[in-house]
Amino acid sequence: MSTPFFTLQLCRPRDFLVARQRTRHLANLLGFDPADQALMAAAVFEVAFQACRLTGCGVLHFEVEDDLLRIFPGGLGQELTSLRVEKPLPQKGRTFALADLAWIARELNLLTPLNLLEEVRRQNQELLQASLRQASQRKPALARKHTPAA
């Protein structure tokens, strides 16, 4: 494994929301589409929650290796290998030198305070957008199903 470009401390419930927000921001920066950003943010929230449930406090590592974004917990001297999020980097995504990515992540962490209400609002928007996409995909299928045969 490569060296993580960013780590987050996980000790309090607030840290799970920070992990969610930072994941979404980094995924956006790397060029993932909004649906992937939302899925990754939700998955990382769950990974962070489960890791802390199992170990108490720990850290969440972010790394890029072999064109994969990997996010995984560590803590108490052990890596929880079954809890991780891995996603291939988008083909049309942005590329950064590892040092630049680390700097960007640190700056995001310093300059982007967590606003709990805004993060919950963002999560609701993501759920609504996903529901609307599903509904619009079903609409043509329903129309074909109910169109009388000629």
25 within a domain of the structure (yes/no)? yes
Distance from C-alpha of 38 to C-alpha of 130, rounded to nearest angstrom: 9
Residue-level pLDDT at 48: 92
Q: Domain residues for 57?
A: 6-115
Average pLDDT, the chain: 84
Residue-level pLDDT at 150: 56
* CATH number for position 29: 3.30.565
136 within a domain of the structure (yes/no)? no
pTM of the model: 0.77
Residue-level pLDDT at 86: 95
29 within a domain of the structure (yes/no)? yes
DSSP state letters, 71-121: EEEEETTEE-TTS-EEEEPPTT-----HHHHHHHHHHHHHH----HHHHHH
Return all residues near 42 (Cβ < 8 A) that are at least 6 apart: 20, 123, 126
Residue-level pLDDT at 61: 94
Q: What is the pLDDT of residues 18-45, one digit of tens each?
A: 999 999 999 999 999 999 999 999 999 9
Q: What is the pLDDT of residues 68-95, one digit of tens each?
A: 999 999 864 555 567 889 999 998 867 7
Q: What is the pLDDT of residues 118-130, one digit of tens each?
A: 888 888 888 888 8
130 within a domain of the structure (yes/no)? no
Count of structural domains within the chain? 1
66 within a domain of the structure (yes/no)? yes
